[in-house]
Amino acid sequence: MNQRENKTAGPLTRFLADDHRRLDIQLRAAVVDAGPVDPGAYAQFRAGLLRHIGMEEKILLPAVQRLRVGEPLPIAAKLRLDHGALAALLMPTPTAAIAATIKAILADHNALEEGTGGLYEICDQLAGSEAESLLAKLRAAPEVTVMPHSGSPAVMNVLRRTLERAGY
Ligand SMILES: [Fe+2]
Ligand SMILES: [Fe+2]
């Protein structure tokens, strides 16, 4: 998002796009030049991305569906598949390759959310006078319980299938 867009963006767009920026910075801090992954920085990124996905899945997408009188947004299904793929990629112990895949998915995914006619703009338009209360709910979203990393065959199977289903 460029600065002109950011100035005219609604409050939900600004809040969630800022969270994207913060997560991008954390991921870049966790993996520099495809080098080894910094476990502490990655743990912060992982917890932050899981919380961000939780805000969208549990608060934002249900609110949009309610405001559209039960009709889900056409892009909601794609966004949910991406969220599943991202959450699955956060399960195994991270490698530079996993981090690069997450980065690539997030680049497209975040553009779908932040772009013109994307999820966030639609949310700001639909929310109207509800925007402030929705924003308060997003701010109050709880931290997500983060499981220890697992690279077991079962987890890697889930990861492969989830990526396939999401088209990656
Ligand atoms: Fe998302
Ligand atoms: Fe997002």
* Ligand 2 centroid, distance to 56 Cα (angstroms): 7
Task: Give the global pTM.
Answer: 0.93
Q: What is the pLDDT of residues 107-147, one digit of tens each?
A: 999 999 999 999 999 999 999 989 999 999 999 999 998 99
* Ligand 2 centroid, distance to 53 Cα (angstroms): 7
Euclidean distance between CA atoms 125 and 12, whole angstroms: 10
Ligand nearest to the CA of 19: 2
Angstrom distances, CA of residue 66 to CA of 30, 31, 49, 61, 128: 37, 39, 24, 9, 13
CA dihedral 129, 82, 84, 65 (to 10 degrees): 30
Domain-wise residue ranges, the chain: 3-165
The model's confidence at residue 35, banded by pLDDT at 50, 70 and 90, is confident
Euclidean distance between CA atoms 147 and 161, whole angstroms: 20
Q: What is the pLDDT of residues 58-81, one digit of tens each?
A: 999 999 999 999 999 999 999 999
* Ligand 1 centroid, distance to 167 Cα (angstroms): 16
The model's confidence at residue 34, banded by pLDDT at 50, 70 and 90, is confident
* Ligand 1 centroid, distance to 32 Cα (angstroms): 24
* Ligand 2 centroid, distance to 36 Cα (angstroms): 26
Euclidean distance between CA atoms 127 and 121, whole angstroms: 10
